Structure 1
Amino acid sequence: MNKQPYNQQLLDFIYQSPTPFHAVKNMREILEAGGFTRLPEETDWDIQPGGRYYTVRNGSSLIAFIAGHQSALESGIRLVGAHTDSPCLKVKPKPELNRQGYFQLGVEVYGGALLNPWFDRDLSIAGRLVFDSGEGSLDQTLIDLKRPVAVIPSLAIHLDRDANNERKVNPQTDIPPLLFRDPDKSVTDFFKFLAKELSSSGDLPEKARILDHELYLYDCQKPALTGMQSEFISGARLDNLLSCFTGVQALLEAGDQVSCMLVCNDHEEVGSTSACGANGPMLQSVLQRLYPDPGLLTRVMRQSLLVSADNAHGIHPNFADRHDSNHGPRLNEGPVIKINANQRYATNSISAAMFRHLCEKEGVAVQTFVNRTDLSCGSTIGPITAAMIGVQTLDVGVPTFAMHSIREMAGADDAFNLYRALRAFYNHQPTLMIQEA
């Protein structure tokens, strides 16, 4: 695939994936179109050499793999990891707020969101509903209202003269979005109101009663190629749907000789500790089903490598002093190897050298990121997964501006070059591992 169609498909994927549930649904459709077969976790698995498979947990995490013809004891497994979630605003269980004749929703902040950019945006609502069908059974569905239905208006500068100097956002009181006028306080149950709206549009059965939900607000503005030469990608959820899409596209082009795997976990932005997060049992349970003997699995992991793909901080031209001067990645100058002495990233000299070597052979430039020593560092699923299954791990990502904002920015060349690097990683035939000294 060439850069232009790749980036257009990436933009479409991000726009159609406002929540982790939608992202996994869309990845499933891409994989199935590419010949992958679903393996429900509650069934027995019949894995055939050369077969292409995937499994899903919670509708928000996905593991896809190719069972290579070569013995994994010799070539290991080529793993790529990413995460499906992004910082955002989540609707509370009982969200109804009716103040000054306006109907608003109470929301929680999911993850480390940069809150100021959420003001004055056209917002919509998407997520998962669990409902009583009205015929004695429970069911679930994904919804996406798609159109602008909410906004968080800023307070006018005339009423907050210090807004440009020291504006602080109180997440409890300042960010409940406004949905509509309701001076008579006629809407006392938002989910009855929502069910009626969805039933009238055919998105929910007429007698359905919503019992619970996981709903999120998102920016309606589509992602786009920006810049005078269209050299940048601007959009929501680049962290980390860009890596999810890249991993899927690379896996589609992997051969069937070496075993390859893509792991896309939910809940990375809130610590990864869940049944479907990287700090949970999902990946380990899949590997145990493929290699039931613990000794065999340990030997396979010693021949394997995980590339944890999650966006990196690009050096910001207006705030260059927030970066280490020798380790400030620039947009469109290549994927970034992420290094941290305190293991917030799992990269070591061996995994970094192997990735550099692959990228050199592919003609892909590589950069390096190290945080300023006097600033705290974020983390990824890399160290968590490495600790869970004992696999050699590398942390990489594309350099990004405005990470965790409602709209982030990355380089159009970098997204495509990360895809090229991961495709080469999946298709590299000889063993990647350097033997222990």
Structure 2
Amino acid sequence: MTEALMQNEDFTDGLLDFIARSPTPFHAVQSMAELLEHAGFQRLTETEQWDVSRGRYFVTRNDSSIVAFALNRPLTEHGIHMIGAHTDSPCLKVKPNGAVTANRYLQLGVEVYGGALLNPWFDRDLSLAGRVSYLNEDQQVAHRLIDWQQAIAVIPSLAIHLDREANDQHAINKQLHLPPILMPLPESGSAPDFPALLLEMVNDQLATEHDAGAKAVKVLDYELSFYDVQQPAVIGLNDDFIAAARLDNLLSCYTGLMALLDHDGEHNALLVCNDHEEVGSVSTAGAQGNFLQSVLARLCGDEQGMSRTMASSFMISADNAHAVHPNFVDRHEPGHGPLINAGPVIKVNANQRYATNSETGALFRHWCATVDVPVQSFVVRSDMACGSTIGPITANQLGVRTVDIGVPTFAMHSIRELAGVKDAFYLYTVLRHYFG
């Protein structure tokens, strides 16, 4: 086995493990923070004074967004090479008073988060994870991440016998058809108290951790998402594909993180992974918030320093791209159909739904050529709507040159997506070179 192949396999194994440990944006940021701290990055908080002219640091916001950076040279003279991605994925989120009963079954009401493909959520083994906020014995508000890990719920399909047109037309009512079933109710007695279940889970977790904090006495709020417990896997006749939930966009988060951890060159380097991209990025933790801008302002010192730094900087917005589906070739623009395992994709849109221009696209092509990474192009058909990314938002807020790129993907926004093993490593290779 060649050294390059061994590196690719190690990288893929790490990616699968990262996705498995990151069922929500909270868990993804927790996993990234652990890897950064293990590599010697120092954790900062937004409430403290920073003195970070040189070194390796990271800071989080809302437990669901993260900025990590390595500074080696003066920013105003040399700028900073940045990579942007997002931690969130389309999913089903539990409503605040989610517990409902119907026909003697306990269910949880859910909201659809983002532009999810809903049909694949039926008949899957679902678990539940997220953040719970609670009052502890010291009368303090605290927060914990929880994850049931095992399958605790399912959304059964209606039998074909009761919906003979299901294969021809199947409309899903988000309110009526999506609440997952957790358990049948006993003939006598009331339904389990869902907040009480959360409280018990938090206290069980606290009991197993040294110096974890005072016991929880009341659940105040929560942000919980259902997810498929099927593990990420390498599949295909020749192990060509990565099949997993949340490839959009944990794959980009992981490749950017690995490139930063391997960074030992002279460039200043920064990775930002924002929450809430799938719903428009309008939040304190989203790309339309001021998280990245606030961090850069601290590093640059004043407005003139910020302007000089951004003029010398570059942003790669990494978010998955649509691979040409062989069963739906007509949905793609001729001559611009990305193939899986044929390299990362430069995404272009004349109406600036992507931030790429001829200068930034040319630079990315050059970086790919320098490390022998193939590169592809994507543009949406003129008669179809185009999606967007954090790229145009960041370019607008910072005035920084930006290119939108991503790994070709099938079944984007499904509960289980498909990407190429080679493409993930290709992306890592060029991002590592870009950081220097």
Shift of 1:188: 5.9
- Counterpart check, 1:425 vs 2:413: no
Match of 1:216 in 2: 225
Decide which of 62, 67, 78 is 2:66's aligned counterpart: 62
Decide which of 363, 370, 381 is 1:372's aligned counterpart: 381
Q: Is the 8 A contact 1:344 1:380 kept in 2?
A: yes
Shift of 1:198: 4.7
- Residues matched between the structures, number: 425
Match of 2:49 in 1: 44
Shift of 1:400: 0.1
Match of 1:74 in 2: 77
Q: Is the 8 A contact 1:66 1:256 kept in 2?
A: no
SS of corresponding position for 2:384: coil
Q: Spell out the pairing of 1:8-23 with structure 2 (5 A cutoff).
A: 8-23=13-28
Q: Is the 8 A contact 1:79 1:260 kept in 2?
A: yes
- Counterpart check, 1:249 vs 2:249: no
SS of corresponding position for 1:418: helix
State the one-letter code of the partner of 2:400.
V
Q: Is the 8 A contact 1:122 1:219 kept in 2?
A: yes
- Counterpart check, 1:170 vs 2:179: no
State the one-letter code of the partner of 2:94.
V
Q: Is the 8 A contact 1:98 1:185 kept in 2?
A: no
Q: Is the 8 A contact 1:246 1:419 kept in 2?
A: yes
Segment drifting more, 12-21 vs 284-293: 284-293
SS of corresponding position for 2:36: helix
Q: Give the Cα–Cα distance (whole angstroms) in 1 for the partners of residues 204 and 110 of structure 2.
A: 26
State the one-letter code of the partner of 2:30.
K
Q: Spell out the pairing of 1:254-269 with structure 2 (5 A cutoff).
A: 254-255=263-264, 257-269=266-278
Q: Give the Cα–Cα distance (whole angstroms) in 2 for the partners of residues 74 and 289 of structure 1.
A: 16
Q: Give the Cα–Cα distance (whole angstroms) in 1 for the partners of residues 430 and 337 of structure 2.
A: 21
Shift of 1:293: 1.6
State the one-letter code of the partner of 1:275.
T
Q: Give the Cα–Cα distance (whole angstroms) in 2 for the partners of residues 359 and 182 of structure 1.
A: 58
Cα distance change of structure 1 residues 48 and 256 upon mapping to structure 2, 3 Å threshold: farther
Match of 1:434 in 2: none
Q: Spell out the pairing of 1:131-142 with structure 2 (5 A cutoff).
A: 131-142=134-145
SS of corresponding position for 2:255: helix
Q: Is the 8 A contact 2:144 2:202 kept in 1?
A: no
SS of corresponding position for 1:163: coil
- Counterpart check, 1:405 vs 2:405: no
Q: Give the Cα–Cα distance (whole angstroms) in 2 for the partners of residues 165 and 185 of structure 1.
A: 42
Q: Give the Cα–Cα distance (whole angstroms) in 1 for the partners of residues 234 and 414 of structure 2.
A: 17
State the one-letter code of the partner of 1:240.
N
Shift of 1:74: 3.4
Match of 1:27 in 2: 32
- Counterpart check, 1:193 vs 2:185: no
SS of corresponding position for 1:166: coil
Segment drifting more, 127-136 vs 109-118: 127-136
- Counterpart check, 1:277 vs 2:286: yes
Match of 2:97 in 1: 94
Q: Give the Cα–Cα distance (whole angstroms) in 1 for the partners of residues 391 and 119 of structure 2.
A: 29
State the one-letter code of the partner of 1:331.
I
Decide which of 101, 106, 117 is 1:103's aligned counterpart: 106
Identity %: 55
SS of corresponding position for 2:168: helix
- Structure 2: 5+ residue runs without aligned partners? none
State the one-letter code of the partner of 2:64.
S
Shift of 1:35: 1.3
Q: Cα deviations across residues 272-304 of structure 1 (Å, max 9, x unaligned)?
A: 011111001101111110112211211111111
Q: Give the Cα–Cα distance (whole angstroms) in 2 for the partners of residues 251 and 319 of structure 1.
A: 37
